Chain A
């Protein structure tokens, strides 16, 4: 992979920490959109200096969905809750950042134990993918609002997508586009559900969702 890949992966990793440290929904959505841009650029440059039209088209679709359509859907949803735009963590920002750091460290250590192909060994690809998946889990479990859980899911998907970069030659364009569409559909359905949660509980604090238990 070309040398430009490493700085891009580091950027994606840094965005993980920005996501964990954001205290406002707007900035959370902004950072997840930027991570989408980084992923799209990675997709375009990962396989040499002269990407073909197919790769470029896929990268454009990825950016349009991950940095355009999905953040827009999320942004629309936040407007419902006009007064409360804070992230409302269950665990403090400092603790989640520390946990994120530990998770990234473990991802780096574990990623280096897996045998990589020579063309992938110099890059941080697997650690970055695993750390991003972990960040997604952290966001989903330590934030109260339903919308932040959706953003956590999106981060998790970004991590899976990062790993998918190693396979973009194996994956037919149809499947990749279908995967992206599925993601958009998931965010769409989740967005509708979040709206219904707002309407039912007049907030989207998921701690209100605790009537069902044994």
Chain B
């Protein structure tokens, strides 16, 4: 790990003043479940580490008329156990609870989940975010069993965020603060598929801190279904998060977002369209699953993930249908 300056601000104001306009100068430390290993592997070599754990205003979950506000420092465990979140954003609660490692659930934060770097083994072994060699990505002909099945490059890693798909499906907003002031972005615009090696996979600027998430009030059914191999520490192979607004037994509108299948959470308008106007049955859910993967373009080793994505959508819809609206 390269030596760094350690800052311990008590307010957001103070914290953003310690950041830099350029990536690589400063890193924000919350739970540390990703940053520490990135630093040990010299993938991040910040000159300054800004610890935000002492900033009280970043804590807590509140339910107001404007919706549910979730502070960036809320741990995955707190999120999974919160009654308000369980009641009105079940898909988000499920996504947090599904993280199998107790260490990550208790140390990892909501902000950290959204800002963590990809787990792609080419990236983690120092081949860069896009794993380019001689102008060509190593991934399509390489070891790609855990890589993207959507998006056709140049980024083939999968977004590692557990909460991203649920937040997008719920129409959440994410608050980002810099020294110039706050701004809000839709969760759907927060994740980006980077076009080149020097861009990031999130819309956060290097001089900003993610401070909170706002889930708008709505009467919806929602669910997240995760296909993960192990019960112990492991990453999902594919997930699907759905949010449904019902009219009687019929889906009035739907959002279907897949996780771990592309460089960003994959918002499937096709799946949403397939289920809209229909009652949820095994057949309509299956059809929506098929629609979700119709445009998938798997790599040499990961055709199986197309099946997993299809099944995750089907099962998330059937799970959501079981809920009381």
The answer to whether A and B belong to the same complex is: no
Give chain B's interface residues, CB within 8 Å of chain A. Answer: none
- The interface of chain A, by Cβ under 8 A from chain B, is none
